[in-house]
């Protein structure tokens, strides 16, 4: 006769049930960080493009480029430069701060 307390049936299932949520959390954070990095690269590219467009005096296309990715921007002109500060939220619902980028170009428009 076997003792019930020494029976190991179901222990793998219990260990799996404990490990799965941790694996899911790590995967979700990994996907969130990759999404944030992708957004940062895209935002840096678009802010540099917008700064060049604003420097040439093409304000409409500059604001459209930033609006296409759902970002907000502020423009400052000083010392012959036009600088764009852009900010965008992380696309996934992961608790990460918004991504920001700054780019400057020569101001030939004004």
| pLDDT recorded at residue 53 | 92
| pLDDT recorded at residue 45 | 94
Instruction: Please report whether residue 28 resides in a domain.
Output: yes
Instruction: Please report whether residue 75 resides in a domain.
Output: yes
- The total of structural domains in the chain comes to 1
95: domain range? 6-106
Instruction: Please report whether residue 1 resides in a domain.
Output: no
Instruction: Please report whether residue 67 resides in a domain.
Output: yes
DSSP structure string for 1-68:
---GGG--TTHHHHHHHHHHHHHHHHHHHHHHHHHHHHHHHHHHHHHHHHHHHHHHT-HHHHHHHHHH
| pLDDT recorded at residue 33 | 85
pLDDT tens-place string over residues 62-92: 999 888 888 899 999 998 999 999 999 887 7
Instruction: Please report whether residue 65 resides in a domain.
Output: yes
Instruction: Please report whether residue 55 resides in a domain.
Output: yes
Given a cut of 90, is residue 105 above it in pLDDT?
Answer: yes
Instruction: Please report whether residue 23 resides in a domain.
Output: yes
Share of the chain above pLDDT 70, in %: 92
Given a cut of 80, is residue 3 above it in pLDDT?
Answer: no
């Amino acid at each position: 006769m076997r003792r019930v307390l020494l029976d190991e049936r179901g222990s793998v299932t219990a260990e799996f049930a404990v490990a799965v949520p941790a694996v899911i959390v790590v995967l979700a954070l990994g996907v969130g960080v990759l999404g944030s990095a992708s957004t940062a690269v895209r935002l840096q590219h678009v802010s540099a493009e917008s700064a060049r467009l604003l420097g040439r005096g093409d304000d409409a296309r500059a604001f459209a480029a930033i609006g296409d990715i759902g970002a907000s921007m502020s423009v400052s002109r000083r010392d012959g430069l036009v600088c764009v500060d852009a900010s965008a939220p992380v696309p996934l619902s992961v608790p990460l701060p918004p991504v920001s980028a700054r780019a400057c170009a020569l101001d030939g428009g004004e």
